[in-house]
């Protein structure tokens, strides 16, 4: 049985999980694939990490570039993170004709176009299943299982930290700060949670999903990204009263005109929709294809075991490509789509909450501004449990152009009968 020699760069939480599970399931993997995956070298600056795993010190080096240059290795695995040395490592390994596996979503979102091009030129595999939704095999599904489909839309809960915080706020009614502190105490949020709660982690994943679905890479700077730190308990409450749940969604879809739109942010979805029931740190993606219709992918989106499962799957796939001599495309470049629609030109329904003076004529003034910006009101809700000079006024709006809504809300905020900036959230009915 042929042995595939692997080098692993980075023995943090995920890297250590990969080593442990590769060893634990070595016989099972060999039986299923026809070759043995051998950890031949590791790159790690902290000698305590490989020692704790029982890795012989003779296999350890501090410089990951040594692995990329090593002619005895067939596949290298990048689990260091970041966009500096990790990019240099992957670039060098591909130029040396090695298969590469990475879980580095930030690097892929920033530099995948050049790295995928290099892998294609060298005809070596570049695999990155673990970069999106942990152990959920969503990229393989887009690339292979749904190959007969034009992808109409992807709506994904792809960040477990955001989902845990919103789930906690919805269930307990506590404010954002309290839910974040709970997530940090349980280890679901970093000490500096900005990458997660700011929406940037989900944005990186959305860029990768868009490339697999539509065949071209979108610059992260072009993706409208909104986090959850501005979500108030009252918006979660009002959404529930109106029959909706607020989830942090990555949305990737092709609109009616054939343009691709990608955006990330808190979104109202019907409480009866399957994504509304996804709670805690779990991830889920609803994918609609023109042939298969609606499909759902659900599971753990992070953690050492879920991510290690995806990494090992990629190692096995890369090994198959190398041993059987076929070219494994990292991304389908099919040329059917190449136009990105700016967020300001996208159209959606919206939930909007205003703080208004409690007197007659206010609704008419707001409706007049919305009408002049070609925005129609679907329903109006004014809670009675808020006595006082200023009260909340909640509206659900019909589909409107994003820029029109921004302009209208800016004008409404200047009216003497309103106070503060209106709160506006997208509303998704999944009816397209």
Q: Which residues are catalytic?
A: 205
Are 336 and 49 in contact by the 8 Å Cβ rule? The answer is: no
How distant, in Å, are the alpha carbons of 40, 108, 385, 419 from that of 14?
A: 18, 17, 49, 48
Are 139 and 314 in contact by the 8 Å Cβ rule? The answer is: no
CA distance 350 to 426: 4
Is the C-alpha dihedral spanning 346, 347, 349, 354 positive or negative? positive
Are 255 and 261 in contact by the 8 Å Cβ rule? The answer is: yes
Across the beta sheet with 99-102, what order do the strands follow?
60-61, 35-43, 2-9, 75-78, 99-102, 126-127
What is the DSSP annotation of 86-117?
HHHHHHHHHHTT-EEEE--HHHHHHHHHHHHH
| Token representation of residue 348 | 């959606």
Are 234 and 241 in contact by the 8 Å Cβ rule? The answer is: no
Beta bridge partners of 248: 266
CA distance 302 to 184: 15
| Token representation of residue 198 | 């700011």
CA distance 61 to 399: 57
Burial degree of 198 (CB within 10 A; 0-12, 13-18, 19+): middle
């Amino acid at each position: 049985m042929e042995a595939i020699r692997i080098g692993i760069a980075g023995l943090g939480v995920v890297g250590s999980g990969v080593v442990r599970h590769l060893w634990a399931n070595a016989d099972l993997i060999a039986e299923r694939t026809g070759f043995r995956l051998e950890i031949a070298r590791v790159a790690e600056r902290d000698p305590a990490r490989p020692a704790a795993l029982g890795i012989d010190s003779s296999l350890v080096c501090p410089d990951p570039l040594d692995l990329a240059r090593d002619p005895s290795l067939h596949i290298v695995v990048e689990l260091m993170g970041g966009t500096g040395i990790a990019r240099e490592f992957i670039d060098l390994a591909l130029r040396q004709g090695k298969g590469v596996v990475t879980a580095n979503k930030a690097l892929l979102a920033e530099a995948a176009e050049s790295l995928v091009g290099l892998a294609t030129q060298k005809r070596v595999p570049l695999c990155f299943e673990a970069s999106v939704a942990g152990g959920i095999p969503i990229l393989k599904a887009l690339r292979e299982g749904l190959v007969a489909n034009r992808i109409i839309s992807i709506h994904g809960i792809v960040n477990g930290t955001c989902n845990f915080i919103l789930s906690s706020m919805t269930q307990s009614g506590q404010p954002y700060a309290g839910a974040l502190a709970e997530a940090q105490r349980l280890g679901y949020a970093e000490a500096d949670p900005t990458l997660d709660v700011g929406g940037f982690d989900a944005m990186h994943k959305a860029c990768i999903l868009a490339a697999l679905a539509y065949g071209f890479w979108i610059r992260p700077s072009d993706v409208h990204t909104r986090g959850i730190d501005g979500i108030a308990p009252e918006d979660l409450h009002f959404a529930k009263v109106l029959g909706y749940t607020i989830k942090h969604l990555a949305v990737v879809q092709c609109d009616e005109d054939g343009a691709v739109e990608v955006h990330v942010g808190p979104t109202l979805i019907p409480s009866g929709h399957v994504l509304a029931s996804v709670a805690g740190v779990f991830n889920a993606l609803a994918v609609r294809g023109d042939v298969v219709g609606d499909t759902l992918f659900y599971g753990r989106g992070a953690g050492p075991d879920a991510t290690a499962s995806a990494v090992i799957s990629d190692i096995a796939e890369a090994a198959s490509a190398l041993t059987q001599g076929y070219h494994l495309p990292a991304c389908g470049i099919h040329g059917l789509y190449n136009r990105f629609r700016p967020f300001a030109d996208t159209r959606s329904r919206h939930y909007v909450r205003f703080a208004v003076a409690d007197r007659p004529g206010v609704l008419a003034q707001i409706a007049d501004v919305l009408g002049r910006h070609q925005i129609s009101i679907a329903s109006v809700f004014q809670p009675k449990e808020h006595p006082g000079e200023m009260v909340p006024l909640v509206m659900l709006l019909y589909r409107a152009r994003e820029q029109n809504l921004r302009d209208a809300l800016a004008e409404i905020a200047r009216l003497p009968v309103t106070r503060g900036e209106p709160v506006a959230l997208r509303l998704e009915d999944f009816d397209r």
